[in-house]
Structure 1
Amino acid sequence: MDLGAYRPVLANRDTRGALLLGFFIRVPMWAGAVILTLHVVSSLGRSYGEAGLVTAASTVAVAISGPWRGRLLDRIGLRRTVGPSLLVQVVCWSIAPWVDYASLIGFAALAGLFVVPTFSILRQVIIRSVPAEQRRTALSLDSSATELSFMAGPAIGVWLATAYDTGWALLVCELTSVAAGFVLWVVNPPLTSETSTPATDEQGEAARADAIATAETGTGASEGTASSGAPRAVRGFITVPVAAVYLAAACSTLVLSGTDVSIVAALRTFDATQSIGWVLALWGAGSLVGGLVYGAWHRSFSVFWLLGGLAALTLPVALAVGVPTFAVLVTLSGLLCAPTITATVEQLSRLVPERFRGEMMGWHGSAMTAGSAFGAPLAGFAIDHGGWQWGFVVVSVLGVLVAAAGLVAARRFRGEPTAADEAKGPGADSERGVPAASMEH
């Protein structure tokens, strides 16, 4: 482990700016999610289940919009994608805090469809701004910054919702998020190394469209070209190995969302509901430490090894007999959260040609959202029928099975060239921390 690996990454102005901007964008985002739930329950007098429906409507909309918004980033650039989103966000969140329950669901869903794809944008900036050998370290820093914002955002949201009217708190928080998105629009960081700014004139748009068409049909000699020996691609970049990484991303958030629900259920069973906040903070701290260690490590690991480790570390939490042992085991279970998410992004960035990176990140976000949406009810069903321990057991066992299946399936594709490999020519893998076509090492 070499902590000095972080020095050149943090010395890079683009990377440093993306990390700071990402933190300040995500804090109001996490806070807004908490305030929205409290607004439905306290101000509108609805149940937590009905508050969950509002969150579900927004979550489904975000999942649907991910690939679409990512494809727009690839085709027309940051400003032309983000600009309309900012306008829709301002309109929706200026009205939503003052409407009834049914209307709030509609506004939340509309805002979700036009959400600013900040995760996709900032990770693209980070991937573009560092050399390949520093990519894992930079992405680990982004995951760690996300953990910090997640630890701060909900606490700020609860404070705002209890100290002020939830309608005004929701308005201020969401418009702060829009303001952060506007800063991103103004800065307009380049997303790929192919061009520093999106094509804006007629000639540039034609060149961009031609490049995308060439990559999708595989007829050019560009980065996106693949030989007949490469895995067949869907939409220009989704091969079987890429789809497998998306499955791993979905399963990782399935484990995490199931763990989240199970933590709450366990502490309620221990009659320690007041401990939920600090136990969740310890879980996040474990992830933060794990992310920093993984970023400083001397090599990358397959996402399936990390997923299997995440699930295996989560399983022993079911053995806790009280709050002290539970807190320790939960902290340990968080160690591989950030590394697993980092590995999915890093591996996709090596498997997918750069010109598809926006859509790649969009599908990645949708996969993680889908896993989260499935994990919580799965763990809830297990808890209802067997107790809080079974919430941890079910999601852990499923995670281990998916990880094992991924490692076995990866052997089939070992040595097969990817689209990116074809462009780089022989010996390209020697420059990488992880072989592009192998998900086992």
Structure 2
Amino acid sequence: MDVGQYRHVLAIRDTRNALALGLLIRIPMFAGTVLLTLHVVTALGRSYGAAGLVSAAATVAIAISGPWRGRLLDRLGLRRTVAPSLLIQLVCWSIAPWVGYAPLMALAALAGLFVVPTFSILRQVIIRSVPEHQRRTALSLDSAATELSFMAGPALGVWLATTWDTGWALFTVEMAAVLAGCVLWVANPAIKGAPDTTDAADRTDTADATDASGAAAASPGVAPGTSPEPVPGAWRGFITVRVAAVYLAAACTTLVLSGTDVSIVAALRSFEATAAIGWILALWGAGSLVGGLVYGAWHRSFSVFWLLGGLAATTAPVALAVGVPSFAVLVTLSGFLCAPTITATVEQLSRVVPERFRGEMMGWHGSAMTAGSAVGAPLAGFAIDHGGWRWGFLVVSALGVLVAGAGMLGGARGRAAGAAAAASTSAQASPPVADSEPGVPAARVEH
């Protein structure tokens, strides 16, 4: 484990700026999520179920918008994609806090459909700004920053709701989110191309050297070594079986996490310790934060399916808790692989998807995670209703282990098939040793 990797990553200006922008944007975003629920329940006098429907409408809209907004990022760039979103967010959230239930749901859904794709943008900036061997470290820092935002945002939202009228509190945090989006628009960080750490002259020299060696020069907006063309046989130009498997892992990760979230609340209510929900969730987030930082400093990456299996396997023992102290310890341990698993999904996608599709890639990634969350919470709730809070943890854990096991098995078979095909091709294509150039092994003739 090399903690010094973080010093090298933070020395890159674009990475530092992206992490700071992430905190600026995500804290009001998470605060707005909890404030929307509290506003429906308190100011509008509706049930928590009704509040959940508003959140669900916004969530579905965000899931639908992900690939579409990502595709716009690929085609139009940051400013032309973000500017219309900012205008629609400004209009929607200037009206939404002051209207009734049905108009609020419609405005929340419209705002979700045109949400600023901040996660996609900032992760693209981070991926672009660091050398490939530091990508995992940089993405782990982004996951850690997201955990901090998740811990601070809801607390800020609850404090504002108890201090102000919920309408004004909702208006304030959503306008803060719009202002943060404006900062992103003004900063306009590059999301494509070579890292800023390499100047234009160096990039020109590299391209010239590539041309001289007979390789194709990188197209404008496409990083050196990245294919500018769609992947043959891939859906939408980049979604292969391998990519789809990573999306499945991302969806299953948030299924486990959202199911755990619901199960934590149910367990603490069973222990008659409802007041502990806040700090228990904070411990869970802290475990994820530590795990993400450790993974970023680790000397190697791991398969996303191994990490998903570990996440699911460490979630099941929470069902063995017999009181709040043991529950707190087990929940903290179960959070350790949350951030590493999510980081691994982004890292592995960034390595197999051509850069020209990276915006849409991140959009589908966000939609997969949203879909997993949408399934995990009701699945755990159903299990809790029929078997008690322990079954909430066990059901999502079992499903996570099954998906992880299938992914590991499929990956092993794919590697074996690929190795056999490569060996067969090499045996057919390589000339005998006697026919190779004098003094050059036959295995090197192809290169």
Question: 2:131 aligns to what?
Answer: 131
Question: 1:317 aligns to what?
Answer: 318
Structure 1 residue 83: Cα displacement: 0.2
Aligned equivalents of 1:321 and 1:262: distance in 2?
Answer: 14
> Would the aligned equivalents of 2:128 and 2:194 in 1 still touch at CA under 8 Å?
no
The runs of at least 4 aligned residues of structure 1 exceeding 2 Å deviation read 411-417
Residue 336 of structure 2 aligns to a residue whose secondary structure is coil
Q: Which runs of structure 2 are paired with 1:87-126 in the superposition (5 Å)? A: 87-126=87-126
Residue 414 of structure 1 aligns to a residue whose secondary structure is helix
Aligned partner letter, 1:320 = A
List per-residue Cα deviations over 1:167-195 (Å, max 9, x = no partner).
00000000100000000000101101169
List per-residue Cα deviations over 1:217-241 (Å, max 9, x = no partner).
xxxx971447xxx873110000000
Q: Which runs of structure 2 are paired with 1:219-298 in the superposition (5 Å)? A: 223-225=227-229, 232-298=233-299
How many residues in Structure 1 have an aligned counterpart in Structure 2? 393
Question: 1:44 aligns to what?
Answer: 44
Structure 1 residue 416: Cα displacement: 8.1
1:222/1:29 Cα in 2 relative to 1: closer, same or farther (>3 Å)? Answer: closer
Aligned equivalents of 1:413 and 1:223: distance in 2?
Answer: 22
Aligned equivalents of 2:152 and 2:253: distance in 1?
Answer: 23
Q: Which runs of structure 2 are paired with 1:183-222 in the superposition (5 Å)? A: 183-193=183-193
> Would the aligned equivalents of 2:130 and 2:195 in 1 still touch at CA under 8 Å?
no
Aligned equivalents of 2:195 and 2:330: distance in 1?
Answer: 47
Residue 335 of structure 1 aligns to a residue whose secondary structure is helix
> Would the aligned equivalents of 2:129 and 2:195 in 1 still touch at CA under 8 Å?
no
> Would the aligned equivalents of 1:231 and 1:240 in 2 still touch at CA under 8 Å?
no
Aligned equivalents of 1:35 and 1:374: distance in 2?
Answer: 23
Residue 115 of structure 1 aligns to a residue whose secondary structure is coil
Aligned equivalents of 1:413 and 1:99: distance in 2?
Answer: 55
Note if 1:74 corresponds to 2:74.
Answer: yes
Aligned equivalents of 1:67 and 1:115: distance in 2?
Answer: 12
> Would the aligned equivalents of 1:70 and 1:117 in 2 still touch at CA under 8 Å?
yes
Superposed CA RMSD in Å reads 1.7
Q: Which runs of structure 2 are paired with 1:391-402 in the superposition (5 Å)? A: 391-402=392-403
Question: 2:31 aligns to what?
Answer: 31
Aligned equivalents of 1:415 and 1:69: distance in 2?
Answer: 37
Question: 2:425 aligns to what?
Answer: none
Highest CA radius of gyration, 1 or 2?
Answer: 2
List per-residue Cα deviations over 1:78-105 (Å, max 9, x = no partner).
0000000000000000000000000000
Aligned equivalents of 2:28 and 2:417: distance in 1?
Answer: 44
Question: 2:443 aligns to what?
Answer: none
Residue 300 of structure 1 aligns to a residue whose secondary structure is coil
Q: Which runs of structure 2 are paired with 1:130-169 in the superposition (5 Å)? A: 130-169=130-169
1:410/1:111 Cα in 2 relative to 1: closer, same or farther (>3 Å)? Answer: same
Aligned equivalents of 1:267 and 1:6: distance in 2?
Answer: 37
Aligned partner letter, 1:93 = W
Q: TM-score, normalised by structure 1?
A: 0.87
Structure 1 residue 414: Cα displacement: 2.2
Question: 1:204 aligns to what?
Answer: none
Structure 1 residue 411: Cα displacement: 2.4
Structure 1 residue 21: Cα displacement: 0.6
Question: 2:356 aligns to what?
Answer: 355
Question: 1:20 aligns to what?
Answer: 20
Aligned equivalents of 1:277 and 1:265: distance in 2?
Answer: 13
Residue 55 of structure 2 aligns to a residue whose secondary structure is helix
> Would the aligned equivalents of 2:30 and 2:150 in 1 still touch at CA under 8 Å?
yes
Q: TM-score, normalised by structure 2?
A: 0.86
List per-residue Cα deviations over 1:328-364 (Å, max 9, x = no partner).
0000000000000000000000010001000000000
